[in-house]
Amino acid sequence: MAPMQTGDARRRSIARVQRIQTRFFLALATAMLVIGCGDDGTYYLEDDQIIEMRVISFSPALTRIIVDMGQSDLLIAVGTGDTAAPEFIERIGTPNDPDAEKLLRAKPTHVLLMSDEVEPPVNLAVLGTQTNFQVITFKPPKSVQEIRQTLFFEFEYDPVTDVPITTTVTPNLAGVLDLPLEAQDARKEFDIRLSELAAAVPTDKVRKRVLVLTQTLPAMIAAGKRTVFHDVLENWNIAINVARREKDPDGLIATDAVKKMAPDVILLMMPGAEPLGSLMSDDRLDVFRDLPDVPAVRDNAIHLINDPMALEPSTSLPQVAAQMAKAIYPDLSESIDQAMIRSIEEIFEHLLENAEKERLRLEAQNAAIIDDADNTDIQGDAVDDQPLAAPVTPFATSQPTSAPASRPATSQPASQPAEHAASPPAVDQADELPIELEVEPNLHHESDTDEAEE
């Protein structure tokens, strides 16, 4: 007869069963969202006929992520005006007005959109039903974390029950393309680039007050608190977003609000726009002519960010954020450029060197503690009571601070096919995945900033 389980053991057993059940139903749900894709990047139909995965992207943000994953060969067409795709890839219109003839001739297996709308455009949905391709809609990211989840979705686990807190199946490219390793590699580089940018702005630097506008005509629209721009400025400790208190859901602000905000710098995010003219000659700056006392206007600190990906939240964010940081702090332009051109290999070497130095320091510290215990004749358990410094690994700080100590913060791509449901989660296979390097932002408390302003 098996020994009776204690209360704690029973609870752990129940938690494990609940976890298995939850993962089964999550896998079943994702199988309904995305029909299984093989490890070689092919798409499996129900009659076992294998067809190469053929992707059409109507979102420049998704296109850029796919390219940064090294998977541009999966793209057979993109939307008109998509600057993220290689030039040789065919352009076939917009989601609401696609070139049906070109689309059908391309024979896609997946059509990817990025929209706040739950349902895809009717014409695309009808074409998808007629020709058996999937239309998958991604939500536009509104934070750095949501960009990361577009690449590889993370399940958060309850530290007590060990059951996923997140139960909503969210489309992500790791699952849709069945490329979790490539998605994680792209996400790591994304994290590292943002971390390098944040490190290029000294922590003792007085942070400037910045107003980010996505348009000035016919009205001003500001990037408020629930935007990627707010996240990268505030939570990566680059600058203060003066529009974070604005309540208008569309970001509309009036000139009186700009006067009250008193920004030191104004950034105009206008992809592909012509360079700015003078305040009196450029119609885009007309709204600022009656605001001579606003510091940004007075000091001629209105800057244009016209990168084609400026309004496309994707893995291009580090390069866009670097342009923003250089406009905010012109004196840091050289150090920001140097940080952004460093290769990933150089960054990893630097991290490894620092980790090795920290390991040697901790070893010396532990040896000194033991020697001190011996010299003072501390015997037996008294020596064990002396706290030793924890051993260090090259990426010991990589786990997010919010994750439970018993498991990593990531589990498996939420769109993993049903064929893989029985296999262990991708991130749990530590021997098969590259070293996980999660880079946490230099967070600060916005309440402190608000109190200082008041």
pLDDT one-digit tens code per residue, 103-114: 989 999 999 999
Q: Residue 256 pLDDT > 70, yes or no?
A: yes
Q: Torsion-angle region of residue 380: left (phi > 0), alpha (psi -120 to 50) or beta?
A: left
pLDDT digits (tens, 9 = 90+) for 408-447: 344 444 444 444 433 433 444 434 444 444 455 555 445 4
Instruction: Determine the average pLDDT of the residues in 207-216.
Output: 96
Structure confidence at residue 266 as a pLDDT band (50, 70, 90):
very high
Q: How far apart are CA 302 and CA 218, in angstroms?
A: 18
Tell me, yes or no, whether 287 and 318 share the same domain: yes
Q: How many domains does the chain have?
A: 2
Mean pLDDT for all residues in the chain? 78
Instruction: Determine the average pLDDT of the residues in 354-361.
Output: 82
Tell me, yes or no, whether 89 and 125 share the same domain: yes
Tell me, yes or no, whether 96 and 177 share the same domain: yes
Determine contact, residues 96/115, Cβ cutoff 8 Å: no
Residue 257 lies in a domain: yes
The residue that leads in pLDDT, 62 or 393, is 62
Print the domain residue range for 231: 206-328
Residue 163 lies in a domain: yes
- pLDDT recorded at residue 214: 96
Residue 210 lies in a domain: yes
Structure confidence at residue 93 as a pLDDT band (50, 70, 90):
very high
Structure confidence at residue 155 as a pLDDT band (50, 70, 90):
low
Tell me, yes or no, whether 19 and 74 share the same domain: yes
Of the chain, the percentage scoring pLDDT greater than 90 comes to: 50
Q: How far apart are CA 451 and CA 57, in angstroms?
A: 45
Q: Who contacts 407 (Cβ-Cβ below 8 Å, separation ≥6)?
A: 157, 162
- pLDDT recorded at residue 337: 93
Sheet holding 90-91, edge to edge: 90-91, 75-78, 55-57, 110-114, 134-138
Residue 420 lies in a domain: no
Domain boundary among 191, 224, 244: 191
In which residue are the tokens 């001629």 written?
300
Tell me, yes or no, whether 303 and 182 share the same domain: no
- pLDDT recorded at residue 295: 97
- pLDDT recorded at residue 182: 93
Token reading at 412: 């498996």
Q: Residue 399 pLDDT > 50, yes or no?
A: no
Tell me, yes or no, whether 29 and 134 share the same domain: yes
Residue 129 lies in a domain: yes
Token reading at 297: 């206007």
Q: How far apart are CA 41 and CA 198, in angstroms?
A: 35
Tell me, yes or no, whether 162 and 236 share the same domain: no
Tell me, yes or no, whether 180 and 258 share the same domain: no
Q: How far apart are CA 41 and CA 49, in angstroms?
A: 14
Tell me, yes or no, whether 218 and 84 share the same domain: no
Q: Residue 384 pLDDT > 80, yes or no?
A: no
Of the chain, the percentage scoring pLDDT greater than 70 comes to: 67
Residue 382 lies in a domain: no
Q: Which CATH number fits the domain that encloses residue 266? A: 3.40.50.1980
Q: Residue 240 pLDDT > 60, yes or no?
A: yes
Residue 406 lies in a domain: no
Tell me, yes or no, whether 284 and 174 share the same domain: no
Q: How far apart are CA 216 and CA 83, in angstroms?
A: 23
- pLDDT recorded at residue 48: 56
Residue 364 lies in a domain: no
Tell me, yes or no, whether 181 and 210 share the same domain: no
